[in-house]
Amino acid sequence: MVNLSCHLAKKGDRDGEFTGDMYVVSASDGAILVADSAKYEKMLKTQLENRNIISSTIIVTGQDDPIIPKNREFLSVMRRIQRFDENGKFIEKMLYRIDKMDPELKDLEFKAIDPDANLYLSDKDRLAIRKYRTQEAFRWSSIDKVLTYRYLHQESRNQLDNPYDLNNYYDFDERMKYSQMLGIMRFDYDVTEAFHAALSSSLTRVNGKTTGKYPGEYSDPRGYIQDDAATDKYTAGRLRLDMNLILDHDPFSYREGGLFAYFGVGRYDYTVDATDINNERKLEQRLWWSVWAAGASYDTGNSMRLTFVASQHRPMGYMNYDYIYWDETGMLYSTGFGEGTSTQVFIMIEGAF
């Protein structure tokens, strides 16, 4: 007979503790497997008001980043199986997760464990019993993976006629081509019933070309044809790591703490080049930005949160830049550059009353 009371008499959901009814079986290796009624519901489907927590990235960068979730929303339930030795000492726990978004799995309920640690869940809707083999803690299939890819291509043409002439020619003909690609990846993983990690990344690529011609009677006073072609190339990437530790699972006193790190860079190249062989006018401009931020948050209660954030970035609405311009004769006409950074550290207190 195995004595578990000396180690396992305490009620709770921590390692070696129990909540509610228990299912006990002797494993083939001599260990004791115990499943209790402890559930780690990540749904927040109570009648309590949800707190509107502002995304720290928006505060830091001033940009609404599409890869950052705005609200805590979990639609899964995690259950555990604890393993003890013959003396009742806790060895390890095995977690399994039921995805409430999957119509095939959302109604599964625990039924039994066999001596080989196989798990049996009942499917009441289909009157079936499902058997699962317990595996190592980390499984690629248990990671929530989201991949979004968008591609946009657009072409347009504008033709303008001088209202003061009497000919049938357009005096200005502009053609534009524009394409944009956006890729977003997000990985979410419940490392334990209390610790959650998420890695988010995005990559944006924009290509544009604008061709302007003056086919009418327009003429430059110096005799140069001012037809030109402008190209735009923009590349930006963002990466963010979030780690959250649930301090209290009770929905009426839910608390968590978290850490995040964020990094983003972008570069924009803009070129204007006269297309006529006798016109050497050209502009080359390069703009770039970068931002990093790191922060921590801690719930002091179910209605109060402390947040600390440090960041460095280019002041809002500006980019670092440099440019060089040659006139119609090919002579260097002007150059310029601008750089700057803004560093900020702040502590924020949020409360719901």
- Kindly report, residue by residue over 68-85, the tens digit of the pLDDT: 444 444 566 777 788 888
Last residue of a domain, one of 134, 158, 185: 134
To the nearest 5 percent, what fractions of the chain are helix, strand and coil?
Answer: 5, 55, 40
Q: Quick one: 38 and 60 in the same domain? A: yes
210 and 333 together in one domain:
yes
Instruction: Identify whether residues 18 and 80 lie together within a single domain.
Output: yes
Shared domain for 129 and 204, answered yes or no, is no
Work out the mean pLDDT of the chain and round it to a whole number: 79
- The DSSP annotation for 183-230 comes to EEEEEEEESSSSEEEEEEEEEEEEEEEEEEE--SS---TTS----EEE
Do 57 and 13 share a domain, yes or no? yes
* Domain carrying residue 67: 5-134
Residues in Cβ contact with 245 at an 8 Å cutoff, skipping those fewer than 6 apart: 194, 195, 196, 256, 257, 258
Same domain for 237 and 90, yes or no, is no
User: Which positions ≥6 away from 166 have C-beta within 8 Å?
Assistant: none
- If asked whether residues 310 and 215 sit together in one domain, one would say yes
The residue-averaged pLDDT of 40-66 equals 45
Are 159 and 289 contained in the same domain?
A: yes
Provide the whole-model pTM: 0.66
Among 3-7, 44-48, 188-192, 220-224, name the one with the lowest average pLDDT.
Answer: 44-48
Name the strands in the sheet holding 118-123, side by side, starting at the edge strand that comes first in the sequence.
108-113, 118-123, 128-133
Q: How confident is the model at residue 329 (pLDDT cuts 50, 70, 90)?
A: very high
Instruction: Select the more confidently predicted residue: 166 or 184.
Output: 184
**Matching residue, tokens 């735009």:** 232
Measured CA to CA, the distance from residue 346 to residue 353 in angstroms comes to: 23
Task: Tell me which of 105, 134, 163 is where a domain ends.
Answer: 134
Number of domains into which the chain is organized: 2
